[in-house]
Chain A
Amino acid sequence: MSKIWNNYRYLILRRFVQIGILVLFFGANAWGWKVLEGNLSSSLLLGTVPMSDPYAVLQMVIAGAVVASDLLIGVAIVTLFYFFIGGRAFCSWVCPINMVTDSANYLRRVFDIDRAQLERQPIKRSARYWVLAISLIVSAFMGIAAFEFISPISMLHRGIVFGMGFGWAAIGLIFLFDLFVLKNGWCGHICPLGGFYSLLGKFSFIRVHHLEENCTLCMKCKVVCPEKQVLHMIGKESLPVLSGECTNCARCIEVCDDDALEFSIRDLIQNKKTGE
């Protein structure tokens, strides 16, 4: 039992947080709970603290909206949290699409789809930054928040709270895309919100650290990692994972049997030494 807890503790916590947030949102709409109202685009915590999606507001401002101060306060709160603390944690701890793509990824491993698809991945991971840039350009030209109108993330959290409609189709599409077409296709290659948080969270304090002397090169961490390019130091150097693309999902930490990976606070002095 303790082994299960040890190997899945962060996964269980993440699911608890992800589902918990959705339950609170759902309860607010269905039964009038006042804990967390709204949805992931913009919400109100305990009826007082506003929180807003900084990427959505960025698109709105570029589209030419004059937004109210409540929204800007909400943006500041969320931005500061991920900039200083969470990094890209939104993607693995909050975003409901994470459960969809994680399950696709799990099935990929079960059916050994990775090894059957040996050809080069058709899309690069940098594509998300292109999508991010295009979303802002399109927002400016069309005068509306471009990604918010097609975002499957919003369709899912909004759908769970306010009614799904045909939103299931979009979610199913992402699941199939990640399962059969491209490993980590949506979250790791295309999603501009993930790209946005990769850039925003680049300097955050919570980081995964690698201890090379404990590593036995089993590479379990690289198998589970959804952004395995960030683990380039495994078995080579004792370094923190400094890439903003790391989602702090902590799967690598819990699958490591050798205590070679651990969460810790970014060490500023060490960073100077390594030039970061």
Chain B
Amino acid sequence: MSNHSKAKQPVSDRRKFILNMAKGVGYAAVGGFLWSAYLDEAKASPLVLRPPAAIKEDDFLKTCIKCGLCVEACPYDTLKLAKPGDHEPLGTPFFTPRDIPCYMCEDIPCVPVCPSGALDESSVTVNGQLDINVADMGLAVIDENSCIAFWGIQCDACYRACPLLDKAITIEYDKNSRTGKHAFLKPIVHADACTGCGMCEHACVTEKPAIFILPREVAMGKAGSHYIKGWDKKDEARLKDAHAIHTTTKVSRQQAVDKLNGGLEGLLDE
């Protein structure tokens, strides 16, 4: 059939329908792809700090319905819902401790109001009672270079501000060898006690805080399960049910002997 006669033929309804469907699918694929690409960028916010009792960030983004009931329950206006321009996942609750930290209310009003389960009451419940001290919003990290206490200037603002005084932050005394007669009073954060409330960051006297809250996954490294603290009974117990994995590689002894007996010719060639 020549092109000329083809052009004269009317396009059948079936053909039209199939082509229209194909067009729809094409638009849908392009749209869906752009949409997914945008979401991938929009949800990536590794430094965002969530309300107490928030579930794992990945699940939190799935589960939070963005109703703002936690924000309304917060008596200190700590929590905000991310608005366009905040560069946090849109509509989700977060807080900025340098502006307003979490004041760790004993009754944790923001958590029980959550309708979706994105804030999990059981994670801040100890023996049937709410306990804000087990909350995990993040972890305080100290930049020793800009912390003036590490310079030798006396400052314990973060230590005093910490609601878990002498548990989450302690002061370590050290000799100041520069002057020879003074002491360093260095703040040390203890990851097992710190809740990430951010009162230290809020109180820090430096221009840009030398102590600040990061999400735990960002702030902490991981030694891996193959390191065991032999001096720690609890850690050592992990060895109880451990079993060694033996791997054997087949090695041909004869080949090695042949190689050595074979003289230097091969080596010299190279």
CA separation between A28 and B192, bound complex, in Å? 37
Tell me if B194 is interfacial: C-beta within 8 Å of chain A.
Answer: no
Residue among B63, B65, B84, B89 making CB contact with A165, cutoff 8 Å: B84
Tell me if A177 is interfacial: C-beta within 8 Å of chain B.
Answer: no
With A52-B115, A138-B36, A138-B39 as contacts: A158 and B68 at CB distance below 8 Å: yes
CA separation between A64 and B117, bound complex, in Å? 13
CA separation between A190 and B214, bound complex, in Å? 40
Cβ A50 vs Cβ B115 within 8 A: yes
Q: Which A residues are CB-close (under 8 A) to B85? A: 165-166
Q: Which B residues are CB-close (under 8 A) to A141? A: 36
Cβ A150 vs Cβ B35 within 8 A: yes
Q: Min CB distance, A60 to chain B, in Å?
A: 6
Tell me if B66 is interfacial: C-beta within 8 Å of chain A.
Answer: yes
Q: Taking CB as reference atom, which chain B residue is nearest A131?
A: B31
Within 8 A of A (CB), among B212-234: none
Q: Min CB distance, B33 to chain A, in Å?
A: 9
Tell me if B72 is interfacial: C-beta within 8 Å of chain A.
Answer: yes
Cβ A134 vs Cβ B67 within 8 A: no
Cβ A154 vs Cβ B38 within 8 A: no
Size of interface on B: residues with Cβ below 8 Å to A: 38
Q: Taking CB as reference atom, which chain B residue is nearest A33?
A: B72
A41-49, A201-209, A247-255, A263-271 - the one binding chain B: A41-49
Cβ A145 vs Cβ B69 within 8 A: no
A68-76, A93-101, A234-242 - the one binding chain B: A68-76
Compute the total of residue contacts between A and B using a CB distance below 8 Å: 141
CA separation between A67 and B36, bound complex, in Å? 23
With A142-B39, A154-B66 as contacts: A137 and B32 at CB distance below 8 Å: yes
CA separation between A43 and B27, bound complex, in Å? 35
Mask for A22-58, Cβ within 8 A of B = 1, else 0? 0000001100100001110111100000101100110
Tell me if B43 is interfacial: C-beta within 8 Å of chain A.
Answer: yes
Mask for A151-195, Cβ within 8 A of B = 1, else 0? 000110011011111110110000000000000000000000000
Tell me if B182 is interfacial: C-beta within 8 Å of chain A.
Answer: no
Q: Which B residues are CB-close (under 8 A) to A166? A: 83-85
Q: Which B residues are CB-close (under 8 A) to A43? A: 67
Cβ B69 vs Cβ A146 within 8 A: no
Cβ B28 vs Cβ A134 within 8 A: yes
CA separation between A142 and B32, bound complex, in Å? 11
Q: Min CB distance, A116 to chain B, in Å?
A: 26
Tell me if A110 is interfacial: C-beta within 8 Å of chain B.
Answer: no
Q: Which B residues are CB-close (under 8 A) to A42? A: 65-67, 69, 115-116
Q: Which B residues are CB-close (under 8 A) to A133? A: 28
Tell me if B58 is interfacial: C-beta within 8 Å of chain A.
Answer: yes
Q: Min CB distance, B42 to chain A, in Å?
A: 6
CA separation between A52 and B66, bound complex, in Å? 11
B interface with A by C-beta (< 8 Å): 24, 27-28, 31-32, 35-36, 38-40, 42-43, 58-59, 61-63, 65-69, 71-72, 80-81, 83-86, 89-91, 113-117
5 closest A-B pairs by CB: A165-B83, A68-B117, A42-B67, A65-B62, A70-B115
